[in-house]
Chains A and B, each alone.
Chain A
Amino acid sequence: MLGRKAAILVLVAMAALIAAPTMTSLPTGIDSMGDSGCTCHGDSSSATTIVVEGLPENFTAGQSYDFTLTVVNDGMALWQDGDAEAGWNGRSGGFRVIVSEGTVTGDSTLTQELKGGLTHTTAGNKMRSWNLTWTAPGDDSKVVEFTLLGNAVNGGDSSNGDQWNSITTSVPGASAGAVTSSAPPLRILMTAILLSVTLLVLAVMYIFYSRNPEGFSLATFWDYLKGWLTTTDHKGIGLLYFAYGFFFFLVGGSLAMLFRIQLMFPENDFLEYAEYNSFFTLHGTTMIFLAAMPMIAGFGNYIVPLQIGAQDLAFPRINALGFWFIAFSCILIFTGVFTGEAADITWVMYPPYSSLTGDSIYANSPGTVSFIAGMIMLGASSTLSGINFIATIFVMRAPGVTWMKMPLFTWSFLISMFMLYLSLPALIVGVLFLYLDHTIGTAFFAINAGDPILFQHLFWFFGHPEVYVVIVPAFGIVSEVLATSARRSIFGYKSMVYAMAGIGILGFVVWGHHMLTSGMDPTLRVVMMATTMLVAIPTGIKIFNWLATLWGGALVFKTHTLWALGFVITFTLGGISGMFFPVVGLDMQFHDTYFVVAHFHYVLIGGTVFGLFAGLYYWYPKAFGRKLSERLGVIHFLISFIAYNAAFWPMHVVGTMGMPRRTHTYSVESGYASLNYSISVASFIFGLAQLILVWNLVYSSKKGEKIGEDPWGGWSLEWTTASPPPTPSFAEIPTQGDDNEHEERGWLTRMAAKLWGLGMKKEVRH
C-alpha cells in the first residue's frame, strides 16, 4: 500500500518537473511598463491590424532577416484630418518589438532600443511602416517568439483616440521541433500555485491516511484539514510556523547552493548577473523573514505559554492572523520569480535603486513592487505577534512564575518581542514610502527630489534590532539547554536577564554603524562606534555565564548539548569578527566585502540556526512524544559543524583580500578562485547535511523512542504536562515550585539583615 502511494507521489513530482521548464519561457509574459501594450494610449483596439512581411518560416543560426512592420487602420481619422495648420502634430504611428532570442535593429534615427525591446523615436512616429532587421540567434534549435505592437496614432495633442493592437508570432529554428506557444504569466503563476498546493494537500492527505488507513474518508480528511486552516490553538499555530519556516530554510538554502555553483569558478556563466542578483536578494529575505523569524515564532508559540503555565496566548485569533499574514506574504515576495522578473533590490532594499519608476531602463519590475508589498505584510504579521506575546507574558504567568523566576527562554522571547514591535513601525513606514513611490507617485526617494538616506535610517532603525530579535531567543534556548545538560541551574540568572535586556536597549542606539560609509556626520559616527562596542559587554557576560554553568555542572552529551556547545564556539567567533565593523577606519575597508558576509553568517547560522537546532532536538519530544534519533543527530551535528566552519571561515580571508559581496563573478587574476572553490564544496556538504535532519524529523515522528513528561530532567513548567500536551495545555493552571536558586540574597543583603536584624522574611515557596 505504501509503495503504491509513494509511486503516485513520485509520478506527480515528475509531472511537476516536466511542467517546470515552461515556467521559464516568458517572452510575451514580461509585464513591464510598456510590454503589456501601449497602455498610455488607452486600451487595445481591433480596428488596427498589424502586418509583418519578411520573417522566415524557419531561421538559420546567425542569419539576418529584413522584415517590414506595418500598421493598418483605414477607419481612423487623423486629428483635424491631418491639417498641420489646425493642430495636427504630424504623427501617425508607433510600434514596439520584443523578441525572445536574437536582436532586432532598425534605422537609428527612426528606432531606438528601450527596456529590452525596440521602439520608435520621435522621428519614427511620423509613419506607419518600418523596415527592420532581425539577427537570428546562434542556436537554431530554439523557437523564437515575436511580440509586435503597433499603434495607429491620430496626431492629436493627447494620446486619446489612438488605436493600438498587438500580435505574437513565433519562428522556429531550422532544427527545432514543433512550435509550442507560451502561456500568459498569470496563468503560469496560478498553475504553479495550484500545483504546489495540490502537492502539499496530497502530502498532508498521505500523512493523515497513514495514521489510520481504515477510517479514512474525504469527509474526515476535510475535518482534519479544516482544523489546521482555522486553528487558533498556540500549539497548532506553533507547528505551522515552524513547518513553514523550516520549508523556507530549505528553499533559501537551495538558492544559496545555486549561487555557490556560480561562484565556484572565476568568470563562470552558470547564472546571469540579473539572476544572481535576484537569487541573493531572495536568499537574504527568505532566510531572515521567511525562515528564521517563523521558526523562532514557532518555538515561541509552542513553548512560551507552556513555560509560563498559560492555557493559550492572550489573543488566539490575532495569533492566527499573524501566521496567515506571513503565510501569504511569501506569494507576494516570490511572484516575480514566476512572471520572470524577480526582485533584485537586496534584502535591505536601498533606494534610489529600489524606487526607480517610469521610463528609466533600470525601472523596477512589478515583481519588485510586489516584493515590497510582501514586506508590508511581514511587518504587520510581526507587529501582531509582538503585541500578543508581550500581553501574554505580562498577564498570564501562572502562580510562582514571577519576573525573576521566569525561564530564560521566555525572558529572551519577551525581550526580543519588545525590540521587534518597537522597531518594526520604522520599517513599515519606510517600506510604505517605497510602495507609495511605486504606486501613487510620491517622491520620497526619487532621484532628483527625494531623500534616499532617510530610507537607510528607517530601515536600520529596524534592521539592527531585527538581528538581535533573531539572536536573543537563541540565547534563551542555549541557556535552557546548557543548564539542563549540565544538570544544574544556570549560572548568574539575574545577570543573564539584565544582559539580554541590556542588549535589547543598546540595540536601538547602534543602527548608524550600518551607515558609516553612507555619508554621516563624523561626530555621529564616533557615537555609533562607541555604542556598538558597548554591545560586547552584555554579550561577553552571557558567554562567561554559559562557560561557568558548564564549569560547575556534570555535562550530559545529548545532541542538543552538542548544538549548544557549537553555538557557544561559533557565536563567540562571530561576535569577535563583529567588533571590527564599528571601528570606523576598519569599516571603511571592510564594508561590502566578504568579511561582512562571513561575520553575519557566523552569527546567523552559528548563532541563530545552531540555537534553533538545539531547541529542536530539545523540545521535539515535548511536541511529538518521541525523541529524535540521537545517532542521526550526532552525524548531522558533526558534518554540519565541520562543513559550516569550512564554508564560512575562508570568507574572512577572501574578504580581507578585497572580494566584494553582491557581485556575480570575479576575475581569474583576482586570486579568489581556490578559496571560493573550497567554500562552495563545503557549503554543498553543509546544505546536504540538512537532509539528515529532514529525514530524522520524519523518521522519528513514527519510530522514535517514546518518552514521558520530562525526558531531559528540565525544571520549568513545560515539562510538567503530557507529551504532546493536551488542549488546553494545562487541565488547571499549575504552580511553579522550583526557585532555581537565583533567589539567594547576596552577601551584602545577608550581612545587612544580620547587622540590623531587619528580619527579611523568606518568600513563601510552594
Chain B
Amino acid sequence: MSAYATHEGKSGHEEPWMSAIAIGVGMILLGVIILATSQGMHSFIHTTEGLDHAIYIGGMVACALLVIFGTIGILVGLVNTASGGGYGDDDHGEDGYDEHAHHGSWSPIIMAFGIMLFLMGFIKWNHNGDFGILGLGLVITFAGIANWWREDFGNDGKSEPIAFGEPFGGIEVRKVGMWIFLMSEVMIFGSFFSSYLRLRTGWTTHWDVKCDAFGHGTPCPDGYVVVASELINESIWTLLPGAINTFALILSSFTLVTALSHAKKIDWQKPTGKLTGWWMPDQRRAVRNNLVATLFLGSLFLVLKLIEWDHMMNGAHPFTIDTLAGSVFYVTTGAHGFHVFVGLLVLLFFSFKAQRGGWSPDNAQSIEYFGLYWHFVDLAWVAIFPAFYLY
C-alpha cells in the first residue's frame, strides 16, 4: 500500500474532474491533427496506390476513435463535476462500493432509452440520412455509461461479494457472472460460425466449388462467388492488417495482464531495467501505462481492420456487402470489431481510473474480470481469422 501513499491526493474525491475534460479535449485535438495530417499526405502521395488509401482511411478511423474517446472523457468530467464529484447519489462515498446496497441508479433507464433511440435513429439514418435521432441516442447512451462509471469510480474492492455454497464457494460473484456471460458470447459467435458454415459448405450456395476465381487456373462456373480468403493476398494492404492485427491483439492481452499484476502487487518495486524503469516509474504509472498500451493496441486493431475493409471493398476485385459472401464476412468480423470497441470503452474507463490512482491491490480484480472478456475477444479472433481469411 505504501506505493500508493504518495498518490493519496490523486485517489481522493477532492481533485476536480477538470483533468478528465482536459484529456478529452486533448484527445479530440489529437484526432483532428491526425485527420489533417493524413488528408494532407493523401493529397501528396497519390502515386503509390494502396498506401494512399491506407493513410486516408486510417487517418479518418483514428480521428473518429479519438473523438469518441475524447467525448466520453468530457462527458465523464461533466457528469462528475455536476454531481459534485461524489460517487453515486448517496452513501457510496462513505461506505464504499457495495453491489448490494439498495441505493438505486439512474444509469439503467438512461442507457436503455438511449439504445432505443439509437436503434430507431439507425433506421432513419439509413433511410434518408437524417442523423438527429441516431446522434441523440448515442449521446444519451454515453451519458448513461458515464453515470455508470461515476458510480463505479469509488469501488475500492472492500465489499466484493463472495460466492458461498457449491460449486463456486469462495469465488468472487462478479467473476462467476463474467464466465456465465462469456458462455452466452460463445453462443453468439457460435451462431455466426454455424451460419457461415451452412453458407460456406455449399448447402445453399456454390461456395464449395474449387476453382480459380481470377482466371489463372481452372475457370469458375457461373454463379460462383468470390470469398474473402481469395482476396487476402491480392495486395499488401489486405494481407498485412490481418497479420499485424493478430499480434496486436495477443500483445494487448499481455499488456493487460501486466497491468493487472502491477496493480495487484502489495510491495511494488520499480523495475531495474532501463527501459522498464522508464516505462513503469511508479505503481500508478505502471498500471496506467500498461492499460493505455492495451487501449492503443486495441485501437490499432480497429484502424487496421477498416483499412483492410476499405481495400477489400474498393480493390481490383471488389468484395461488397450486398453479396451473401460479403454479408457474412463483414457482419461477423464487424461483430468482432464491435466487441473490441466495447472493450476499448471499458479500457478507457480503466485508464481514467488509473490516471487518478484509483487502482489498488484490493480492487484490481476488476481488471482481471475485464481481462477474461478481453482474452475471449482475442480467442474469438484466433478462430475467426483462419476461418474467414485463410480457408
Contact = CB atoms under 8 A, between A and B. Distances in A.
A558 interface: no
- Chain B at the A interface: mostly helix, strand, loop or mixed? helix
B123 A370 contact: yes
B128 A39 contact: yes
A391 B104 contact: no
Interface residues of A, number: 78
A390 interface: yes
A390 B180 contact: yes
Interface stretch (A393-401, A676-684, A707-715): A393-401
Interface string B201-217: 00011000000000000
Given A233-B102, A366-B127, A391-B180, A425 B324 contact: no
A33 interface: yes
B116 A377 contact: yes
A395 B168 contact: yes
Interface string A688-731: 00000000000000000000000000000000000000011000
B198 interface: yes
Contacts of A316: 99-100, 102
Interface string B160-179: 01011111100101101100
A555 interface: no
A551 to B, nearest CB: 34
Contacts of B171: 395
Interface in B37-91: 89
A121 to B, nearest CB: 24
A727 B100 CA distance: 11
A78 interface: no
A325 interface: yes
Given A325-B115, A444-B328, A397 B165 contact: yes
B191 A394 contact: no
B322 A230 contact: no
Given A311-B100, A422-B187, A449 B324 contact: yes
A328 B118 CA distance: 12
Given A324-B108, A331-B116, A422-B183, A444 B102 contact: no
Contacts of B327: 433, 436, 442-444, 450
A450 B324 contact: yes
Interface stretch (A102-110, A129-137, A453-461): A453-461
Contacts of A329: 116
B105 A230 contact: yes
Contacts of B99: 314-316
B112 A328 contact: yes
Contacts of B279: none
A229 B123 contact: no
A403 interface: yes
30 contacts: A39-B127, A229-B106, A230-B105, A231-B104, A232-B103, A314-B173, A324-B111, A328-B113, A332-B116, A335-B120, A373-B119, A373-B122, A377-B116, A377-B119, A386-B184, A391-B180, A402-B166, A421-B180, A422-B183, A422-B184, A424-B184, A425-B185, A429-B188, A443-B326, A444-B324, A444-B327, A446-B324, A450-B324, A451-B198, A458-B191
Given A324-B111, A426-B191, 17 more contacts: A229-B109, A232-B105, A328-B116, A370-B119, A373-B122, A395-B176, A402-B165, A422-B184, A424-B184, A424-B187, A426-B187, A428-B191, A439-B126, A442-B330, A443-B321, A443-B324, A446-B322
Interface of A: 33, 36, 39, 226-227, 229-233, 311-312, 314-317, 320-321, 323-325, 327-329, 331-332, 335, 366, 369-370, 373-374, 376-377, 380, 383, 386-388, 390-391, 394-397, 399, 401-403, 421-426, 428-430, 432-433, 436, 438-444, 446, 449-451, 453-454, 457-458, 727-728
